[in-house]
Amino acid sequence: MTRNGLEIRPLSGAIGAEIAGVDLAEELSEEVVAAIRRAWLDHLVVFFRGQELPPARFLAVARCFGQPVEYPFLKGLDGFPEIRPVVKLEHERVNFGGLWHSDTAYLDIPPMGTMLLAREVPPYGGDTLFANMHLAYESLSAGMRRLLDGLGAVNSSAKADVTKTREDRLRDAARADAKREYAAIHPVVRTHPETGKKAVYINGGHTLRFDGMTEEESAPLLDFLVTHLARPEFTCRFRWERGSLAFWDNRAAQHNPINDYHGFRRVMHRITLAGDRPR
């Protein structure tokens, strides 16, 4: 598909598309920004290759699509606090954010989207999986959709699995003003503010329980949903190269960075964009 001079190549039948024909180091016209945003809404995550962007230009590109915000737990780059390094070093065994999740769902107002730019990649491994939460919702039975439509979920930054993925970075880059825990209640099914489509909005990294229920009572349904949302037919897999950039819709997509490159370094730069309160 070609749109405003951009070539848009879907990665799978469910989610994801590569966009060619644009150099993000150059100033972007309103028409190109609008075409990228349309592809982003259609495919939930879009990818660009060969984008060697210095921090200032990376931030400028992000501002074409939203307002960059700082990550609550860790410091950003010197001079660019909105750009957060995502690093796994050669000796480390656990990767940052290494499980299915949507970014910082424990905030009252989670980010609209995330941009991730590859600075250094291993010779193999380190791919990222993405999953379409609209499809996860639409494929449920009518009875299950009715049940979920009325539920809220308690999301916490202190859930054990996700805190483990932060430990290495907190030792050397923790923010002094970070809270011990962030927690928020969001609808289990949220409506996308731009497309009106419904999406499952719980995840294995942050969701503790359903509002009004105990963790024990919530566990069977949460376990089912976490398994369901990662079904292969809802996903795509992206292989990184230096200069690859991914931009995903945090309101309707989840991602899972695969931890299969022990002994190698992986360095990424991440920007998250301010969102709205899930409804």
Q: Is residue 69 very low, low, confident or very high in pLDDT (cuts 50, 70, 90)?
A: very high
Res 149: pLDDT? 97
Asked whether the predicted pLDDT for residue 168 surpasses 60, the reply is no
Residue 253 pairs with which residues in a beta bridge?
132
Nearest of 13, 40, 44, 8 to residue 234 by alpha carbon: 13
Confidence of residue 113 (pLDDT cuts 50, 70, 90): very high
| Domains in the chain: boundaries | 2-273
Please state whether beta strands 189-191 and 207-210 pair in parallel, antiparallel, or not at all (unpaired).
Answer: unpaired
- In this structure, which topology does domain 2-273 adopt according to CATH? Double-stranded beta-helix (3.60.130)
Tell me which of 49-63, 169-183, 212-226, 241-255 is least confident: 169-183
Active site residues: 101, 103, 255, 270
| pLDDT confidence bin for 161, thresholds 50/70/90 | low
Dump pLDDT digits (tens) for 207-240.
999 999 999 999 999 999 999 999 999 999 999 9
Query: pLDDT tens digit string along 91-108?
Result: 999 998 899 999 999 999
pLDDT of residue 166: 46
**What are 156's two structure tokens?**
């916490």
| pTM, to two decimals | 0.93
| Mean pLDDT (whole number) for 167-173 | 52
Q: What is the pLDDT of residue 72?
A: 85
The three-state DSSP-derived secondary structure of 33-74 is HHHHHHHHHHHCEEEECCCCCCHHHHHHHHHCCCCEECCCCE
Of the two residues 258 and 74, the one the predictor is more confident about is: 258
Q: Please tell me which residue, 169 or 48, carries the higher pLDDT value.
A: 48
